[in-house]
Amino acid sequence: MLSPYMSPVERVWFYSLRILCGLILLFLILPVLVIVPLSFNSGSFLVYPLQGFSLHWYQDFFASAEWMRSLKNSIIVAPAATVLAMVFGTLAAIGLTRGDFPGKSLVMALVISPMVVPVVIIGVASYLFFAPLGLGNSFFSLIVVHAVLGVPFVIITVSATLQGFNHNLVRAAASLGASPLTTFRRVTLPLIAPGVISGALFAFATSFDEVVVTLFLAGPEQATLPRQMFSGIRENLSPTIAAAATLLIAFSVILLLTLEWLRGRSEKLRTAQV
């Protein structure tokens, strides 16, 4: 809020900062503003001005065997990778948060390294690892590597949730005779659920949108939706790609809204524990 006591220099900085943030935001959303109208164009080319309104390219998307196969593959790979990332990421976060051992910082850096290592390096390394095993073009290798890419997101969100966790609740459950498994299932998991679900959604979005690793590990039968879009851009540029991109954008918006709701719920739970 603009204060009446601001000096002229502070006023200039106040407005300049907001204009700069607005320009950055416009730069980020401009591709979305460009691609969405093209998906409703009645013409056969990705050009402006639009020739008319039509849902033809959405019909083409859902009627195409190739697009439907890639969508089915994404629906197979992303949930499977999400489950693996959620399980291993949650266990790792609990162990790293509660444990106190030499090299803890190094272990944490290693488990979140897929977030900072260039994806193309992970793709090459994964191909060199799985190809000699005969798993180069398989759903197994694709799911495993996608899970590896998603684990850091689960670790970070669950670790953040555990920072405000009241461990006296766990001790109270144990003192009343609850087993470790029962304590985790009835006490710990419900309280850290927002962080687990948030991390799982991030992992799902990472897997569903991933294309670089998929180019290395997936054959034609394992091609996911982003890879099909990438191939279409190189081989047959069609407004159907814009329709597929619009559907992905809508899906991402839904995920973002869900994550925001979970963040608010997590803050309420943390406040209630305090």
CA distance 177 to 98: 21
Q: Give the pLDDT of the chain (274 residues) as one tens digit per residue.
A: 566 766 777 777 878 888 999 899 888 888 777 888 888 887 777 777 777 788 888 888 888 888 888 889 988 999 999 999 999 998 888 888 877 777 778 888 888 888 888 889 988 999 899 888 888 788 898 999 999 999 999 998 888 888 777 777 777 877 777 777 787 777 777 778 888 888 888 898 888 888 888 888 887 788 888 888 887 777 777 788 888 888 888 888 887 787 777 767 666 665 655 5
Note the pTM of the prediction, 2 decimals. 0.78
- Going along the chain from its start, the domains and CATH numbers come out as 58-273 (1.10.3720.10)
Residue type, 212: V
Reading phi first (left if > 0) and then psi (alpha if -120 to 50, else beta), residue 2 is in: beta
